[in-house]
Each structure stands twice: as structure tokens, then as C-alpha cells.
Amino acid sequence: MPSTYVEAIREGIREEMERDANVFLLGEDIGIYGGAFKVTAGMLEQFGERRVVDTPISESAIVGAAIGASFMGLRPVAEIQFADFISCGFDQIVNYAAKCRYRWNAPAPIVVRAPCGGGIHGGPFHSQQNEAWFTHTPGLKVVLPATARDAKGLIKSAIRDNDPVIFFEHKALYRRVKDELPEGEYTVPIGKANVFREGKHISVITYSAMVHVAAEAAGRMEKEGVSVEIIDLRTLTPLDEETILASVRKTSKAIVLHEANLTGGFGGEIAARITEKAFEDLDGPVLRLAAPDTPVPYCPPLEEAYLPNADKLVEKLRWLARY
């Protein structure tokens, strides 16, 4: 039976807790309530309150406690209830966890889970896609799975990693995407992109929920005779530059798609690398599609207008195909 994105993450966490007694969970309402999005439902009953810890509403305390526990040999998985509020623990993440290995070779094997993204009418304080804050910080790994299969494999890899991992889970995917998960043990490597769809004419480089937007647009373009390749990055840091460049060199045209607002978004980094390292292979400009530079609207029609979608991507694909 296919598993949803949220079930896949839960299964991955449960398997790691069963495998390694040093793995434990902490966060707001993750125990008795099972988490705001029910990712940790059933965990308290199975593993007990010493390994599933309900915390005060203090992101800095959650992250700080996780870092301290990691120094004592534990492997904490910390939930930030909404990625927007990760800013309250920002100093602990970027000025402490990210630098521990560099400063004194002390691994900080923490995972910070952060439900992110729009499309659920959460308004400006519960809908941000803020991965670019962390890709700019050396020492952090930033993971954004787009499918249930990858969500399970990547959460397992993140828990086993000896560096801090920010694990962004798109809220709109929790119950909207499903996969048949492989039987038995499997992981998905951090730092390796996936060719989500093979194509010949244009590459779309994207991640998280926008992979599914790209897939819808690609299906429409196929009817117009334009073959679109989709690269699902899965991980932003470390970035799989090799897969990106191989795709662009094959198609000679590229669009970078992400949900976060345009200015300072990670798409600019990808576009710059393509221009620097594959310029002579290009037959057109590297385009970007992202959200406008405004807070995420609460009003559903405004949010729909704000978010990148298949219609907007098809427009850019048609323009680039004609170039």
C-alpha cells in the first residue's frame, strides 16, 4: 500500500529509534498530541517520555538542548513546529551547531525538522520557505525531500549524519503525495540529486513541492512537442553540481524553480554556477521562477497568485523553447 509523505517520515524516524537507542525526539506537542502535523503520532506510546520529550514553546531551548545532548553521545531529532519560528533558534543553529566541528572537531549530530511552505492558507507567519537562511552557513546540511520515498530515505540519512542537518518538510506534501516504499532497509544519500524526469529540450532545476509543479508543467509541454527534464535537488547543501551541469549540457536551456521569494533565493546560486561552468553549452538565458518579494498572503486567492504554479512555469518554458 502506498505511504504518504508524513507516514514515510514517521516510519523513517521510528526505524532509526528502533535501530539506535541514542536517537530521541524533542519539540513542542510532539508527545501526547503527536505533533502539529501528526508526524510523531504513536511515538510516545512506543518509546516512552524519556525518548519523546515535550518541550516548552522555546525554539532556542529546543535547539540548545539538542546540541548539548549531541555532545553527550545522543542523536536528537528536534521539531520546530513551523519553519517560520526557526528564527527564534537561529543563533543556536548558525553560530553554534554549524561551527562546532570547525572550531574543535566536535560533531553535532542533530536533525532540526522544519515543516515549511505555503499552499495551506497559513498566512505570513506559518508559510515561509526559508532554506536560503541556512544554505549560506557553512557547516549545515540542508535537505528538502519532494517525495515520500525520498522523505523516508533522507530522514534516516539525516539522523545518522554526524553534522547538523536542517530537514525541511513541505506541509502541502504531507498528505498529498504517496509512494510505494521499498521493502526493507534503505536510505537516500544526502548531497545527491535525482533526475525526476528525463527530457531533451529544457532542464528545470527545482526541489521540494515545486518538483510536482514542474511535473505538471512538463506533462503539458510534452503535448506541445517540448521535452522537459526535471532535476530534483533533494539536498541544497551539499549541492550536487555534477547532476545539474550534466542536465544543462544535455538540454542547453535551464529554468531554476523554487517557492521562496526571488531575491536572495537559492535559485540565484544555481543560476550563477550554471553560467560560470556551462555558459558555452547554453542556447538561451538561465531563467528563474520564484515567488515575489512579499510576505506570504493569507487570503487564498492572493496566496494562489503569489505561489509559483504550472501556468507560470509553462509560460516561461514556452518562451525559452522559442528562444
User: Catalytic residue positions?
Assistant: 126
Q: Is the Cβ–Cβ distance between 58 and 27 less than 8 Å?
A: no
Short-list 262, 284, 266, 264, CA closest to 275: 284
Joined together, the cell numbers standing for residue 20 give 539506535
Q: Is the Cβ–Cβ distance between 33 and 42 less than 8 Å?
A: no
* Neighbour tally for 322: CB within 10 Å: 8
Distance (Å, rounded) from C-alpha 207 to C-alpha 132? 13
- At 317, the amino acid letter reads L
